[in-house]
Each structure stands twice: as structure tokens, then as C-alpha cells.
Chains A and B, each alone.
Chain A
Amino acid sequence: DAGVIQSPRHEVTEMGQEVTLRCKPISGHDYLFWYRQTMMRGLELLIYFNNNVPIDDSGMPEDRFSAKMPNASFSTLKIQPSEPRDSAVYFCASSFGQDSQPQHFGDGTRLSIL
């Protein structure tokens, strides 16, 4: 079975540009999560969706960050405008159901803002 698919795997862009990260969750999973990983702060939850509806976006650092899930098989995380401090690895994860089910992660997008 295909796992969580993220694209692009690497992104290098200049400060001020718009960045869009993409995620395809595992088919049948009804929860989708966006995380950011840095050396200093580790793995942090940014936002998560249930049945395509945003449930908790309290981890989104600023209004420059936005996330959408237009259907069950696709989600985007957008940064506009981007800043050097946004450089990190961004992960998408998905899970099925409640009751503390494990989350399954994609291989991430390594983002570098120059």
C-alpha cells in the first residue's frame, strides 16, 4: 500500500516568495496532520484536519502560514511570504479514526529559504 506522499522533497527559494507544500494521505485515513521539524524545537504540530475540516490550527506560527484540505486525498500548506526562519523539514501524517491511533508520516519536504 502507498504511504503518505509529499511533494516536493526539497525546495529552495528566496525570501518573500510563496511556497506551497503538498500532501496525499493514505487512502481511507480521516485525519491529516502537518508538522515542522527543526533541530532547536524538534517535531511540532502545526495544524490537523478531520474529514477535511481543520480542527486545531493553534500551532500555526503566523498568518503567513495557511493550510487547506479540499478533498480527502489532498492537502496543501502554504507560506506567503516566506522568511529564512521558516527553513525546516515539513512533514505530513495521516491516521484512521480516534482512540489514539498511530499517525503515519511521509518523508517530508526539506525547505530552505535564502
Chain B
Amino acid sequence: EDQVTQSPEALRLQEGESSSLNCSYTVSGLRGLFWYRQDPGKGPEFLFTLYSAGEEKEKERLKATLTKKESFLHITAPKPEDSATYLCAVEGSSNTGKLIFGQGTTLQVKP
């Protein structure tokens, strides 16, 4: 069964304090790993797709990396506007078209 576990559940950072969010996954035949950002009262907003181990993607202060067992979302010098819940999801070859989501990491960045 495909599974996704995110850690930590919650993270508080000071503005400018870099850190990483973890997404551990178990999937039969990874087709894609997705990172989303969700603000309160909004739907998840797509950030990145990673397809194979060793792949990296960057967007502003965010950088996503992928290994065969986990993905990291690195946040460099975060700002208060980066506060949100970050969701990780996987699509496996046995569940084509279906995303399995983790529970998310809620990030709070204080000024």
C-alpha cells in the first residue's frame, strides 16, 4: 500500500532561519512526487513535481530534493509570507492518476 509520512507536524521558525521539511514515502513504482502549499481557507497550490531520485527543483526560497525513500523541502531564509501548510503527495504505478497525500507540515515563520 502506498504511504506518505511527513515530519515534523508543525515547525516554528524565526524569519531568516533556514530549515527542511521531510516527506518519507513507500510506493510501488514512483511515477511522481508532488509538493503543494496550502493557506488557510484555500485549496492546495502546486509547487513542484519530482520524478526520479537525484532530481532537484527550486522556486524562490524553496528547493525540493528527492531520494528513493524521501523528499526534502528546504526553505532558505524564510519570510513570514512562507507560513502555510506544506503537503507532499505521491503517485505510484499501481495507482496511476491517484495522489496519496501526507498529513502535511504546518510552518509558521515569525518576524
Residues of A within 8 A of B (CB): 4, 31, 42-45, 48, 50, 55-56, 91, 93, 98-100, 102-108
Given contacts A43-B44, A91-B43, contact A103 B99 (CB under 8 A): yes
* Complex partner residue of B45 from A45, A50, A56, A105, CB under 8 angstroms: A105
A-B contact pairs, 11 of them (CB 8 A): A42-B101, A42-B102, A43-B44, A44-B101, A50-B97, A56-B97, A93-B43, A100-B31, A103-B34, A104-B46, A105-B45
* Complex partner residue of A107 from B32, B41, B98, B104, CB under 8 angstroms: B41
Q: Which residues of A contact B97 (CB under 8 A)?
A: 31, 48, 50, 55-56, 98
* Complex partner residue of A102 from B34, B41, B104, CB under 8 angstroms: B34
Interchain nearest-CB distance for B88 vs A (Å): 11
B49 at interface, CB cutoff 8 A:
yes
B103 at interface, CB cutoff 8 A:
yes
1/0 contact trace for B67-99 toward A, CB 8 Å? 000000000000000000001010100001111
| Contact present for A45 and B99 (CB under 8 Å) | yes
Q: Which residues of B contact A104 (CB under 8 A)?
A: 46
Closest to A59 in B: B98
Determine the distance from Cα of A103 to Cα of B97 in the docked complex, in whole angstroms.
10
| Contact present for B98 and A56 (CB under 8 Å) | yes
